[in-house]
Amino acid sequence: MPYYRFTCVTRTGQKTGGRIRAYDPEDARARLRVRGMEDIDSLREVRPDFFAVLQSNIPLASPTRKVPEENLCNLTRQLAAMTRAGLPLPRGLRMLALDTRYEVFRNLVALTAHGLEEGMALSDALDATGAFPKELIPLIREGERARALPEALDEITVYIERNLRMRRRFGQDLSYPAFVTMATLSVCSGLVKFIIPTYAAMYEGLGGRRELPAATQALIRLSDMLNYYPLLPVLVLLAIVAVVVLFFVNHRLRRIIPLAGPLLHKMGIARFSHVMGAALWTGIPAARAVEMAREASLNNHIRRALAGGRVELEKGVPLSEMLQKTGIFPRTLLWMVSIGEQSGKLAGNLKQTADLYNTEIEARLRQMEQLVTPVYVACVGTLVAFVTISLMLPLIQLSTFITP
């Protein structure tokens, strides 16, 4: 987009000027009116000076160094507070950059402030950094157009906070089983590699393996096999990692898993409902809102199902009917969408549905946490008991023969 230099008078009667980025002169005038500029005296296209940022010792954010969601949430929260208080955004962002220690986030804030100083709108400045989520830029742009920027930023903050909280909770529920599994495999590998061969040699001297219990013989054979094939544990670990990756990639496999599959599917539905509701609330048309919700979805199954949703909505198909044709959305969501279309409160119904599913997801996560911990403790206890009894059972039998 080209840059335009302007001079105009604000609503308070002050004469001001600067540069603004727009598609054409009419778009530039519309953007200036949104900012409260009136009586535009002159407006002419000029060469962009945005590349001056390359001379200011501010390294651009690298795609490999993604800005964490915690920092994005802090940025949108600060922007909402500044715009609601009527503070100048470039100066506020410069102060925020000075108080930030994380380099990538500091660069994002500084680049955004520089874009605003060059006359860009907030949505364009954030988009130019390349570090802000693309699917959230239209929400900010529509908030600017409708003069509801603080409310749009609040919606984005709630959206990022909710996703961050869900991801943290899901990670915490998986961290304990993963730690216990790795610790158990490490201990068992040490037993198989060093302890069991010592017992096997001792039992060989006492009369051979044929007289040993079946559990002890099986344990010794397993030790011999792992010592003969030392890379076998590594292959097993890689197979487990492959199964986990396949679980997150293949939606059909996720739906088979009793607890995790339906939970991840509901998380995708909640994410879709929240983005769709926020987009409609800011005034984005339904066809564009569906495309935004599809791009924001991390569920490949939902993304494929909504591939042709925008075309159908542009043809006049109701949203509830389009979602029903996909066959993946629950009846509760379809009912809420249908009621919202009839009452004219579609955006509010979608946001309420997202809150409903998020509450249910949190309850399911608590149930999983209460269920997984005792199951893992029981599994580890059973494994330890099997190894201990298998190693000590021959000694117990031998003691019965030695006892007078």
Highest mean pLDDT among 32-46, 186-200, 201-215: 186-200
pLDDT at 206: 65
pLDDT over 80 (residue 62): no
pLDDT over 60 (residue 54): no
pLDDT at 259: 61
- What is the residue-wise DSSP string for 239-265? HHHHHHHHHHH-HHHHHHSTTHHHHHH
Lowest mean pLDDT among 282-296, 308-322, 331-345: 282-296
pLDDT over 60 (residue 224): yes
pLDDT at 59: 38
Per the DSSP assignment, residues forming a β-bridge with 15 are: 9
The pLDDT-based confidence of 51 (bands split at 50, 70, 90) is very low
Per the DSSP assignment, residues forming a β-bridge with 20 are: 4
At 225-276, the pLDDT tens digits run 877 887 877 787 788 777 767 666 665 655 556 566 677 778 888 888 888 8
At 86-134, the pLDDT tens digits run 888 888 888 888 777 777 788 888 888 888 887 788 888 888 777 788 7
pLDDT at 231: 80
Higher pLDDT, 32 or 312: 312
The pLDDT-based confidence of 64 (bands split at 50, 70, 90) is very low
Q: Fill in the amino acid letter for 186.
A: S
* Distance, CA of 101 to CA of 42 (rounded, Å): 42
pLDDT at 179: 79
The size of the chain, in residues, is: 404
Lowest mean pLDDT among 73-82, 239-248, 387-396: 239-248
Span 208-233, mean pLDDT? 77
Higher pLDDT, 262 or 324: 324
The pLDDT-based confidence of 52 (bands split at 50, 70, 90) is very low
pLDDT at 50: 43
* Distance, CA of 158 to CA of 223 (rounded, Å): 53
| pTM for the predicted model, two decimal places | 0.62
b/e code 2-28 from CB counts within 10 Å (16+ = b): ebbebebeeeeeeeeeebbbbeeeeeb
What does the mean pLDDT of the chain come to? 77
pLDDT at 61: 38
Span 357-368, mean pLDDT? 82
pLDDT at 271: 85
- Of the candidates 6, 2, 100, 111, the one whose C-alpha atom is nearest the C-alpha of residue 52 is 111
pLDDT at 55: 35
Count of other CB atoms within 10 angstroms of residue 214: 9
At 165-204, the pLDDT tens digits run 877 777 776 777 777 777 777 777 777 778 888 877 777 7
pLDDT over 50 (residue 53): no
At 327-354, the pLDDT tens digits run 888 888 899 999 988 888 888 899 888 8
* Distance, CA of 396 to CA of 374 (rounded, Å): 31
